[in-house]
């Protein structure tokens, strides 16, 4: 047993990892130093950043208070690490190199067990259909003892277990629930050929070529067309060109493609990117939305469209789109938002190549295992700060502004239930003044104000005299306002949850978040992502989270920040009174 007191990590027996972000400042005699008020002085732990980046490859960040960050190792986090090529020995070495105390042996055993189960079971194509095979016959017999597994089996012949084409997805879902992620090497049917050549110049005449990480991402998915590739998720920051990765994969596959995304605005942006950066014509690209339903060799639709039905008991009328053409590739944009009905239909699409694109695999509904087994494992990701350092996304300063609740509202806050407490704090009227002051900090800024509650956003729109976009804003009007923002005719836009994703506003450099969806980590990431397109002058972006001091709003804000903390972002905490002082002294950004 060895102790390394200078290391920043403690590995606990329940598979939680406690990471010290700071350490005491010592004098020459090794004694802790104190500041002028007698408080211990601290500095960032010299191995904190290294540890953070290392842990992110196989663990999930759960809490991030100032001095101690808590991670957890889970089966899905380990299986995604395995899909990226990490072994149990790799993870053991990383933990050993960072840990200050001995690692509990049960943690190492769990990691080895989970990694051992990755690929233990395989689906392989044979002349007689699809066979479920295993490296260990005992494991095969164990899983066959589960009723949910046995129900998916077509027949058993001797030691062989045979599946139907349509049971590939359901059996993978059932197996991952009992801790056996399946390596599906059953291959893919050939979709109808449809070559998709990338452009060398955009329509504006600018040179176009893939960035190195975009090449790496698309090749890690495709893997020379073998059964080892063709499914999985690419995780890249907003603003890093996930759509371009999708176009590159379409080029590699060269078959008819169905693209599913979040809303009609996103459909139009995909269409524009396809026409701008490939050699396809308008006649090659169809839009399947509430406004027009045209199916072409490349067709773009929305999750909302496909999950529409007349009543809760009726069929999903537009699921036929999945069989309308012989698709060779299905792209799931913003895969972290994939709705449950699409999971069900995706289970029957295991013979099609499936690409998920996202900034974060975090799902607030806990369905990461569904994405893993039905879309595929994480095939590629790059830490946000790496791309920032390379200049591919903008640097960003994150600030949490804490605003007091008025005395009159405080009494209301104390008398309502927990859910209403969050709303009262989120809609704190004092935030209006703070937003106005933040706008004053950035007199030349291109500003997005984003929130959850429509009444709050309407009040801000009236007070500031700027446009508001909500889910009820007609698509034509949304597009007009987005275009006005891009052209500089509007400097400030207020957007509801529609601003969480799929808005291509490259000049936006300030985001002010006034309310959010409880502790949604992926929403926080998406909102920061709105301002991460590189700026022509190389300037940094500014992201503000305006929260009510000492409230449920502040508690949830800390949860929301977890994913970005994991990516290397830190939040400066300021009090609203500091903004008041800035205004009085005339100090700007």
Instruction: Read off the pLDDT of residues 384-409 as tens digits, 9 standing for 90 and up.
Output: 888 988 999 999 999 999 999 988 88
Residue entry with tokens 């998920």:
356
The mean predicted confidence, pLDDT, of the chain is 89
**Residue 127, pLDDT score:** 83
**Residue 343, pLDDT score:** 86
Question: Pairing between strand 257-261 and 298-302?
Answer: parallel
C-beta of residue 418 within 8 angstroms of C-beta of residue 550: no
| Rounded distance between C-alpha atoms, residue 169 and residue 447, angstroms | 44
Distances (CA, A) of 242 to 222, 238, 255, 363, 536: 15, 7, 19, 18, 20
Which own/partner pairs from 154-157 qualify as long-range (CB within 8 Å, at least 24 positions apart)? 154/129
Distances (CA, A) of 214 to 206, 219, 254, 303, 382: 18, 9, 17, 25, 10
Residue 110 Cα to chain centre, angstroms: 26
User: Pick from 440, 439, 451, 446: which is nearest to 394 by CA?
Assistant: 446
**Residue 220, pLDDT score:** 94
User: Pick from 315, 362, 263: which is nearest to 562 by CA?
Assistant: 362
**Residue 509, pLDDT score:** 93
| Rounded distance between C-alpha atoms, residue 354 and residue 485, angstroms | 34
Strand partners, 378: 233
Helix (H, G, I), strand (E, B) or coil at 554: helix
Integer-rounded Cα Rg, in Å, for the chain is 25
How many other C-beta atoms lie within 10 A of the C-beta of residue 294?
Answer: 12
Instruction: Take residue 332 and report the two structure tokens written for it.
Output: 């799931």
| Rounded distance between C-alpha atoms, residue 254 and residue 329, angstroms | 9
The single-letter DSSP state of residue 416 is S
| Rounded distance between C-alpha atoms, residue 39 and residue 20, angstroms | 18
| Rounded distance between C-alpha atoms, residue 472 and residue 465, angstroms | 19
| Rounded distance between C-alpha atoms, residue 84 and residue 361, angstroms | 14
Residue 587 has pLDDT above 60, yes or no: no
What lies within 8 Å, CB to CB, of 293 at 6+ separation is none
C-beta of residue 466 within 8 angstroms of C-beta of residue 485: no
Distances (CA, A) of 231 to 133, 188, 219, 221, 433: 20, 10, 12, 7, 48
Instruction: Take residue 537 and report the two structure tokens written for it.
Output: 């002058």
C-beta of residue 541 within 8 angstroms of C-beta of residue 396: yes
C-beta of residue 404 within 8 angstroms of C-beta of residue 588: no
Per-residue burial over 498-507, b = 16 or more CB atoms within 10 Å of its CB, e = otherwise: bbbbbbbbee
pLDDT band at 382 (very low <50, low <70, confident <90, very high): confident
Residue entry with tokens 């909102």:
527
126 or 91: whose pLDDT is higher? 91
| Rounded distance between C-alpha atoms, residue 396 and residue 569, angstroms | 8
Residue entry with tokens 């058993």:
156
What lies within 8 Å, CB to CB, of 460 at 6+ separation is 432, 435, 449, 451, 468, 494, 514
Helix, strand, coil tally for the chain in percent (to 5): 40, 20, 40
- 546-559 mean pLDDT: 91
Q: Which domains does the chain have, with CATH numbers?
A: 9-117 (no CATH), 121-185 (no CATH), 212-382 (3.40.50.300), 391-585 (3.40.50.300)
**Residue 566, pLDDT score:** 80
361-379 pLDDT, tens digit per residue, is 877 777 889 999 999 999 9
| Rounded distance between C-alpha atoms, residue 556 and residue 543, angstroms | 17
| Rounded distance between C-alpha atoms, residue 400 and residue 316, angstroms | 43
| Rounded distance between C-alpha atoms, residue 71 and residue 61, angstroms | 4
254-297 pLDDT, tens digit per residue, is 999 999 998 888 899 999 999 999 999 999 999 999 888 999 99
User: Pick from 94, 31, 24: which is nearest to 59 by CA?
Assistant: 94
41 or 253: whose pLDDT is higher? 253
- 460-480 mean pLDDT: 92
pLDDT band at 42 (very low <50, low <70, confident <90, very high): confident
Helices (H), 56-202: 75-83, 88-98, 105-117, 137-144, 147-150, 168-177
Instruction: Take residue 492 and report the two structure tokens written for it.
Output: 């400030």
Q: What are the counts of helices (DSSP H) followed by strands (DSSP E) for the chain?
A: 24, 25
Residue 411 has pLDDT above 70, yes or no: yes
198-248 pLDDT, tens digit per residue, is 999 999 899 999 999 999 999 999 999 888 889 999 999 888 999 999 999
């Amino acid at each position: 047993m060895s102790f390394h007191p200078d290391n920043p990590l403690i590995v606990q027996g329940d598979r939680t990892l406690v990471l010290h972000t700071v350490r005491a400042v010592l004098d020459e005699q090794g004694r802790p130093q104190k500041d002028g008020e007698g408080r211990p002085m601290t500095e960032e732990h010299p191995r904190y950043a290294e540890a953070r980046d290392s842990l992110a490859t196989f663990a999930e960040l759960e809490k991030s208070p100032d001095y101690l960050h808590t991670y957890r190792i889970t089966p899905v986090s380990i299986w995604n690490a395995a899909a990226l090529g990490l072994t149990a020995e790799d993870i053991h070495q990383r933990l050993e190199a960072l840990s200050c105390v001995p690692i509990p042996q049960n943690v190492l055993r769990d990691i080895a067990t989970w990694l051992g189960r990755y690929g233990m079971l395989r689906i392989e194509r044979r002349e007689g259909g699809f066979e479920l095979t295993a490296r260990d016959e005992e494991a095969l017999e164990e899983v066959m003892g589960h009723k949910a597994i046995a129900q998916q089996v077509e027949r058993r012949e001797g030691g062989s277990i045979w599946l139907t084409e349509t049971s590939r997805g359901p059996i993978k879902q059932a197996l991952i629930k009992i801790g056996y992620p399946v390596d599906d090497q059953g291959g893919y049917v050939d979709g109808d050929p449809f070559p998709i050549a990338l452009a060398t110049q955009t329509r504006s005449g600018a040179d176009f070529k893939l960035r190195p990480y975009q090449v790496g991402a698309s090749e890690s998915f495709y893997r020379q067309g073998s059964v080892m590739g063709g499914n999985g998720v690419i995780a890249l920051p907003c603003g890093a060109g996930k759509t371009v990765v999708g176009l590159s994969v379409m080029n590699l596959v060269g078959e008819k493609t169905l693209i599913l995304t979040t809303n009609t605005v996103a459909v139009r942006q995909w269409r524009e990117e396809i026409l701008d950066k490939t050699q396809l014509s308008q006649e090659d690209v169809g839009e399947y939305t509430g406004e027009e339903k045209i199916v072409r060799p490349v067709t773009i639709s929305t999750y909302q469209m496909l999950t529409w039905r007349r009543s809760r008991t009726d069929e999903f009328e537009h699921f036929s789109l999945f069989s309308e053409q012989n698709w060779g590739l299905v792209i799931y944009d913003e895969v972290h938002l994939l709705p449950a009905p699409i999971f069900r239909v995706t289970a029957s699409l295991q013979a099609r190549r499936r690409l998920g694109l996202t900034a974060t695999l975090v799902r607030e509904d806990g369905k990461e295992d569904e994405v893993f087994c039905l879309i595929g494992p994480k095939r590629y990701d790059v830490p946000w700060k790496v791309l920032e350092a390379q200049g591919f996304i903008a640097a960003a300063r994150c600030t949490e502004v804490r605003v007091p609740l008025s005395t009159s509202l405080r009494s209301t806050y104390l008398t309502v239930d927990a859910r209403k407490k969050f709303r009262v704090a989120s809609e704190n009227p004092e935030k209006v003044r703070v937003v106005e002051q933040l706008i004053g900090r950035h007199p030349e800024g291109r500003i997005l104000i984003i929130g959850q509650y429509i009444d709050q956003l309407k009040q801000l729109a009236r007070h500031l005299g700027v446009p508001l976009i909500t889910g009820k804003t007609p698509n034509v009007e949304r597009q007009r306002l987005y275009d006005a923002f891009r052209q500089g005719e509007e400097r400030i836009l207020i957007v509801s949850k529609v601003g969480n994703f799929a808005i291509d506003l490259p000049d936006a450099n300030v985001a002010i978040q006034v309310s959010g969806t409880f502790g949604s980590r992926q929403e926080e990431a998406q909102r920061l992502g709105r301002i991460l397109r590189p700026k022509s002058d190389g300037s940094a972006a500014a992201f503000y989270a305006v929260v009510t001091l000492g409230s449920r709003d502040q508690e949830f804000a800390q949860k929301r920040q977890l994913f970005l903390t994991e990516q290397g972002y830190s939040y400066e905490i300021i009090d609203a009174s500091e903004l008041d002082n800035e205004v009085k002294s005339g100090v700007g950004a």
